Amino acid sequence: MILPALLATAAAQTVPSSRRSDTAYASASPKLSRDLAKQGLVLGSPVYLRITKEPAELTAFIRADDGTFKRFRSWPVCAVSGELGPKMREGDGQAPEGFYAVKPAQMNPASSYHLSFNLGFPNAFDRANKRTGSFLMVHGACASIGCFAMTDPVIEEIWTLMDAAFENGQSDVKVHIFPFPMTAQNLKAYADSDHAAFWASLALAWTQFDETGQVPRVSVSQAKYQVRTVQ
């Protein structure tokens, strides 16, 4: 009985904190705990985030007792800059699309935009395709230059979900960003886009998650995303 507790403590990830983030956590966690419990979910369980640009929305999925991720809550993205399509270069005003992972060190409790976390752009795919940019965030407030602005009350809820999961041992939170829900109908509607092939590669992860409730494993090979089946 002692060993699992020790392992859990060793695996816990410390998130940077400030008086602002501590206050946000203390304020948001009681209601989040109650709302999660209504769905059979627990604050501190692993988190997966999925963002679409049209509609501009961020959805949090929480891992349930059966090991699958269940939709908990969606929030509108208050502001996102650019058009549909990936970020290509520094200064293009585009918000990214693709597969990102947020570790505790990427959380910013003293952001100029209340609270924020860095998406980690450019990732391995972006670098392989010579895409440039930096400090692409999900943050509070309601203004965006290549970021996803959520408003202060909403970012406090998202921060608290992530913070609790990190402290309970989650090593990173996957954040998958899509232009739109990756349905066959939507992909057909945008089949003539210059980004159609890129979007088709993203759609594999969308479909796999919807079918399995498991966060897809994504790697990069030959400058392309490779989506692997979760066992």
In the chain the first and final C-alpha atoms are separated, in Å, by 28
> Is-catalytic flag, 142?
no
Beta bridge partners of 178: 52
- Burial class, 158, CB count within 10 angstroms (exposed 0-12 / middle 13-18 / buried 19+): buried
DSSP, residue by residue, 88-141: -STTS-PPP-EEEEE-GGGEEEEETTEEEEE---S-HHHHHTT------EEESS
Distance CA 118, CA 151 (A): 16
Largest CA distance in the chain: 59
Per annotation, catalytic residue among 114, 147, 176, 195: 147
> Is-catalytic flag, 147?
yes
Distance CA 36, CA 59 (A): 14
- Burial class, 215, CB count within 10 angstroms (exposed 0-12 / middle 13-18 / buried 19+): buried
The tokens describing 182, both together, are 């990756």
Catalytic residues: 139, 147
